[in-house]
Amino acid sequence: MTYQLESPQPAERKRRKRPLGTATSSGGRIGAPHFGTLPLGDPTGGADGIRWREQVDGKQLYPRVSIDRDVVLTMSDGVRLRATVVRPANRFGQTVLTPYPAVVNINPYNRVAVDILDQTLHAPVLGRALHTASAAIDGTGTGLEGLTNITKTLSGGVFDVFGINRSLVRSGYVQVIVDVRGTGASQGKWQILGAREQQDSVEIIDWVARQDWCDGAIGLAGWSYSAINSLQAADKRPPALKAVFAVEGCDDIVRDIYITGGMPSAFIPAWLSVVNLLKWVPNPASPVRDLVRGDTRRWLTDRLKSPATEIGSLVWGFLTARDNRIFDDPYFDDRDPQVDQIEVPTFTVGAWHDLFGSSATGIYERLEMEPGRKQMLVGDGYHIDVGSGHGKQSAPPRLDVLERAWFDRWLKGHRNGVEYYGPVTMLQQGGSWTSGPCFPRPGVAPQRLYLHDESSGTADHAEYDGSLSRRPVGRLASLPVQADIRGAVSRDMAQVTAGIAMVFGRAFFADARFQERGGLSFTSEPVAETTTISGAMNLRLNVATTAHEAIWAVTVNDVAPDGTSRVLTNGALSCSNRALDPSSSTYHDDGSLLRAHHYLSRHRKLPVPADEPVRIDVDLVPTDAVLEVGHRLRVDVYAASFPRYLTVVPDLIKARGRRQRLMLDPKHPSYLTVQTGATI
């Protein structure tokens, strides 16, 4: 099998309005000569995908691996980081001396957890049984659907990307897994993706490249935190780095999860607590040597200096709003990866309802290289179930298979055709897996749908049943809505728990009607033809409150003929954070606002006048969906969605006793701007 590649040329700077993945005149994806078996539009990878899987599941170059869990890396400031190095071994367990490319994972979740995961999944009987059960058990349509969506991740390959990937090492790689400073067995203070931690990543890459067991080519891989620090390291352009495989990373931490719409997320304190607890678990691989070398003393001293990193400042900020991390602050600017500075081939994986939902497409958009060298794969799931269902018929290859193919191509130079996969592979909500040239899909255009006071006759269970119309409302209407806690049983809850809440039933991920009882619903007529929705969207609302702060949460849903209301995307905004940054917002050629970018800073907050309507633009997570014939589009508007969106205490005081209202005003209409392929 032969593949011909164009000579790499510099990518043209991406314009904001260009669909993600559109080819450029300087050597883009579309029209590139390709002599192989992988056609554009096959999410499975076709014959190439079969070959990639066979290479992973078949006989490897080496029968065993050698694992050294007691490797010490000394950083330029003297802090000692601890690492695990996994190398190929012969059948006698002897380490192979041949140098190979290295794949580096840097994460804060403690290598103890990684070791337990590795030993469990590779136990002679238990490991095989777990993989078999994960692939075979499917509770779709039953009360176990949410649970099996999570358990299927095991057979989807993400744990090989996250932890020790024995198959990858046995095929001729070295894997290096490092505890982030201040976590696991590493010394120092945890910085949570800070500047010193980023410097550590670059120094780790340099150290690995100089070892005699490495041939000088480095790849970065990881899931979640380690995907973010992979992108951070890549933007520094270390010479030895050749490729990145990032699963559910993030390029805008503050808007995706820290303070979405200006409101903190319940996920952050929970996550900080878990990592802070794990960092107190010592390294069990070498307790005596650690004690003799003085590493235990230094490790314990560092832990005592920062026993619960960021927890105190988080609580103080929530109670007083006097900590800058409650706002969009340089603290976050220093931590967001500079994705447009990355030059090495980068494969990104995301999910429509991930914690970092906007980054699923945002990272791909900001990568300034030709499609093929960059790839985007987005599933219809959450943070914890990424890869669920991969490897099945009509689905993409497993994530470990794609990782191996990606690194084989860019670290070893194998012409395996992976650069012709995708480049944009998505599980269309309400549809199936597809691959194509760009996101949004070709053929979509903005359409404006107005929130109207005419009853749709489909949402009698909601506080208000209105309609989505192609014409504005003809009379003034004031629609009251009160905050409640129904968001605790909703897709918002599943999202903020990284998907764990799915196990409690379909109301958490498949049907929003319980949550809708506390909201205002606006529903379209049934679509007469299959209708594609693709790309960013914006909801403009005319709202008022009796207090001096108001919290608005919204969803856009697909409503089936049987009444099931499935959330496609969501967003939120506090009224005081409504100031819009036009230079960072996204507009269509016709001037339509597609993606609102709010400042979210302390100094850009606006006063909220009591009983005076104000205009807000709620940015919604970009998505890709299809409405089948007879389905409807619905907008739900809520006064809150606890615990997905929390409110700091000073803002709660401003909003106390509030009565929020959505104003349907012919002079100041409320409307959804959505990109569709047909008229709704």
The domain containing residue 594 runs over which residues? 445-676
Is 95 contained in some domain? yes
Q: Is the domain of 394 the same as that of 457?
A: no
Q: Locate 415 and state its tokens.
A: 């012409």
In this structure, the answer to whether residues 366 and 321 fall within a common structural domain is: yes
Does 22 map to a domain?
Answer: no
CATH number at residue 94: 3.40.50.1820
Same-domain check for residues 423 and 463? no
One domain, residues 552 and 622: yes
Co-location of 510 and 410 in the same domain: no
In a domain, 191, yes or no: yes
Is 100 in the same domain as 221?
yes
Verify cis geometry, omega within 30 degrees of 0, for the bond prior to 480. Answer: no
Do 544 and 458 lie in one domain? The reply is yes
Whether 401 and 492 share a structural domain:
no
Confidence of residue 657 (pLDDT cuts 50, 70, 90): confident
> Tens digit of pLDDT for each residue in 562-616?
999 999 999 999 999 999 999 999 999 999 999 999 999 999 999 999 999 999 9
Residues 482 and 501 reside in one and the same domain: yes
Q: Tell me the one-letter amino acid at 414.
A: H
Which CATH number belongs to the domain containing residue 672 in this structure?
2.60.120.260
- Find out whether 577 and 655 touch, Cβ atoms under 8 Å: no
pLDDT at 271: 96
- Does some domain include residue 53? no
Q: Identify whether residues 453 and 423 lie together within a single domain.
A: no
Q: Of the candidates 376, 401, 436, which is a domain's last residue?
A: 436
* DSSP H/E element including 247: strand 241-247
Confidence of residue 8 (pLDDT cuts 50, 70, 90): very low
What is the pLDDT, as a whole number, of residue 20?
A: 52
Write down which residue in 413, 436, 459 finishes a domain.
436
**Residue 396, token pair as written in the block:** 């993409």
**Torsion sign, CA atoms 432, 553, 517, 648:** positive
Q: Tens digits of per-residue pLDDT, 500-549?
A: 999 999 999 999 999 999 999 999 999 999 999 999 999 999 999 999 99
Tell me: pLDDT of 57 over 50: yes
State the chain's mean pLDDT as an integer. Answer: 92
Q: State the total domains in the chain.
A: 2
In a domain, 12, yes or no: no
Residue 506 CA to residue 500 CA, distance in Å, equals 12
Which of 414, 436, 458 is the last residue before a domain boundary?
436
Q: What is the pLDDT of residue 344?
A: 98
Q: For residues 680 and 674, is the Cβ–Cβ distance under 8 A?
A: yes
pLDDT exceeds cutoff 60 at 28: no
CA-based angle 522:523:529, to the nearest 5? 155
